[in-house]
Structure 1
Amino acid sequence: MIADDEPLIRAGIRMILTSDREIEVVAEAANGREAVDLARSHGVDVVLLDIQMPVMDGLTALGELRRATPTARVIVLTTFGERENVLRALEYGGAGFLLKDTAPAELIRAVRAAAAGDAYLSPGATRHVVDQLASGRVAARGEEARARVAGLSGREREVLALLGEGLSNADAGRRLHMSEATVKTYVSRILAKLECENRVQAALLARDAGL
């Protein structure tokens, strides 16, 4: 489902996504309230959700979507000017974020990753945005983050640090000379130990802990 209050944006996203035969756009919403109602009635797998929308904004809608359709994976569409909102979206359980000027191929990769159960960190923007978000959080939350990370093994800390850099499983595997499947196993174990819903939350925790 595509949720954005601008018809032109929705049309562009639909055109990009439907170029992939395995992706079906089943609904479009013009505001947050419609997004929640349509996600519930259509049983969508992935939601592309704009933050700035009328009737109900994207952040409020994200909270309701998590309650109404907990299996739906929500990717937040954003701009660089909405960093604080992005942070809140990730903490609310969003599966990742994309900038609205992202390349078409990256949009498709993000939807595929979310559908597969992975969070998606936009390689073109993640490091910059997460650095900015984390800078205001380290002092207040660093001690708590370090205490949580202390229970990880040395290898798990290495993998977590690479998550903090925004690396994919494949890229982390190449860096650590491990298979992608092995990294995925480590990521699942790390998420369970840290009680993080997804790798995006784990990435922010890594930054808070100074990794």
Structure 2
Amino acid sequence: MSVLPHAIRVLIGDDHRIVREGIKQMLRDPSNGQPEIHVMAEAQTGPQVIDEVAARKGNEGLDVVLLDIALPERDGLDVLQQLRRDWPALPVLVISTYPENQYAVRCIRLGAAGYLNKSADPDAMVQAVRQAAAGGIYVTAAAAQALALAVGKGAAGEALSHREHQVFRLLTTGRTVSEIGAQLGLASNTVSTYRARILEKTGTKNDVELALYAERHGRDAVL
């Protein structure tokens, strides 16, 4: 593949081919006169993202990773943390169908270079990629508001650990303890321990109250 010296080299991590094709179409739109963006690689699962980044030696072969949250085999937020740990100079732009007020704050706190909804228009997608590649952080108006609210909450916003938040999110979608354990690679009793901590930290008594809590506050309310 011939890549111009100024081109932004991108990896797309998303398990849906139609989504990857749509993103590629948006990024190759030359109508705005911006430097070309080249999709160098694609990945369908969390482990594949890690492998593809490693094969290109992180930021030596890539400029931006576009990463979905809901990846098979390994949660996108786990992948984000490993990428930030192993290749801290490589920007990771999170793309998702979840609203900004649910995940933008958590992703940025975990080191993402921004958060973008998959329904964004092509200009926003290109702008986000360019801003991330330049070392900046892309934040929509909705994400900025969520960040401001999170700052306003202060220390209370740190109630749940990353793993607890994963379990919290799955519990509020109706998953059982055993299903969550299978998805996250945890023993059922470990998940039960996380569940107990979550109930205590959110002040809820059971999964029904926890689901109502999530509806009232959003699934990223306890960061």
Q: Which runs of 5+ in 2 are unaligned?
A: 1-10, 157-223
**What does residue 76 of structure 1 align with?**
94
**What does residue 184 of structure 2 align with?**
none
Which whole-Å CA distance do the structure 2 matches of 1:24 and 1:129 have between them?
27
Is 1:92 paired with 2:99?
no
| C-alpha displacement of 1:111 | 0.9
**What does residue 131 of structure 1 align with?**
145
Identity across aligned pairs (percent)?
38
Which structure: larger Rg? 2
Which whole-Å CA distance do the structure 1 matches of 2:116 and 2:54 have between them?
23
Q: Contact conserved, 1:66 with 1:93, CA < 8 A, in 2?
A: yes
**What does residue 168 of structure 2 align with?**
none
**What does residue 105 of structure 1 align with?**
123
Which whole-Å CA distance do the structure 1 matches of 2:82 and 2:116 have between them?
20
**What does residue 37 of structure 1 align with?**
51
| C-alpha displacement of 1:18 | 2.6
SS of residue matched to 2:38: coil
Q: Which TM-score applies when normalising by structure 1?
A: 0.59
Q: Contact conserved, 1:36 with 1:68, CA < 8 A, in 2?
A: no
Change in Cα spacing, 1:82 to 1:107, as seen in structure 2 (3 Å) is closer
**What does residue 9 of structure 1 align with?**
19
Which whole-Å CA distance do the structure 1 matches of 2:96 and 2:45 have between them?
15
Change in Cα spacing, 1:9 to 1:34, as seen in structure 2 (3 Å) is same
SS of residue matched to 1:27: strand
Q: Contact conserved, 2:116 with 2:125, CA < 8 A, in 1?
A: yes
Q: Contact conserved, 2:15 with 2:71, CA < 8 A, in 1?
A: yes
Q: Which runs of 5+ in 1 are unaligned?
A: 143-211
1:89-127 CA distances to partner (integer Å, 9 max, x unpaired)?
A: 1101100111111011111111111111111113xxx2x
**1:1-211 matched pairs, under 5 angstroms:** 1-20=11-30, 22-42=36-56, 43-81=61-99, 83-122=101-140, 126=141, 128-132=142-146, 134-135=148-149, 138-141=152-155
| C-alpha displacement of 1:139 | 3.4
| C-alpha displacement of 1:29 | 0.7
Q: Contact conserved, 2:13 with 2:45, CA < 8 A, in 1?
A: yes
* Alignment RMSD (CA, Å): 2.1
* Alignment size in residue pairs: 138
More helix by share: 1
What is the identity, as a one-letter code, of the residue corresponding to 2:17? Answer: P
**What does residue 181 of structure 2 align with?**
none
